Structure 1
Amino acid sequence: MASTTTFIDIAATPEQVWQLIGGFNSLPDWLPYIPSSTLSEGGQVRHLANPAGQAIVERLEAYDNAARRYSYSIIAAPFPAKDYRSTLQVDAITGSEHARVTWSGQFTPVGVSEEEVTALFHGIYAAGLEALQQSLRK
């Protein structure tokens, strides 16, 4: 199983960051790669579309509002991976009013090397966190 983790420090309070990203249906609010999201199964499954119109379906696996963290798995997506589970978390940076946002994932490559699928998801996470930072600067 492959994995990757990336983080970004943001000049906003953890509460401000979590308010923007903490909803399981909030990806279109800050992630340009996901222009639409709809929930089903009582808010436990989100149906996403990327700019090419490809469907991505994800299941909420764990949600902890107090810890500002949620984990999800991919049910269906155009990615060369299976057994995908990811966590998005917001932490306070001690001694400041800033937040650290960490996005991590584990997955098994399908038809590609571990390096290729790791680079794919690491790129998605890093670009997503940069987009989050830009959204919070507005």
Structure 2
Amino acid sequence: MKTIAIFSLGLLSFVLLPLLTKAQTDEELIQNLIQDSFDDLFSGFKSEKLLDYYTEDFLLLEQGEVWDTEMILGYFERAKQNPNPVLRTNRFEFIETKVSGNTAWTAYHNYATFSRNGEVIQELYWLESATALKTENGWRLDMLHSTRVRTEQ
């Protein structure tokens, strides 16, 4: 009886363990990279984490403007000076993510809700795409293209 219990427990572990420790796919890693980068950078203004998400030559194409990392860091510094900051909450709906070797691209809807003192003051929506490179430190975004979508109000 004891042998059957041990064998059953071993078999159960063999079947369940892979399900519990499922490795993320590259597609999931790219999508998490987008979510986490917006949460840390454009919500938290954690400039020290910039290279955790972006390559050194990263470019953001934002509403017809070209932003490099120096411009992005300047934006973060100005945002940190705001004595009455807003809370930005990000939500993404991914359209498609493709990985080919050490490069990837993704297209998605980006929804941001801005609130202050628990009250929503603005909601914005963008259609975006990004490209990423697999580096020795993991996936990093090297380009993001953002177009604001006008919503009916």
TM-score, normalised via structure 1 length: 0.35
Q: Could you tell me the TM-score, scaled by structure 2's length?
A: 0.32
Instruction: Name whichever structure is richer in helix by fraction.
Output: 2
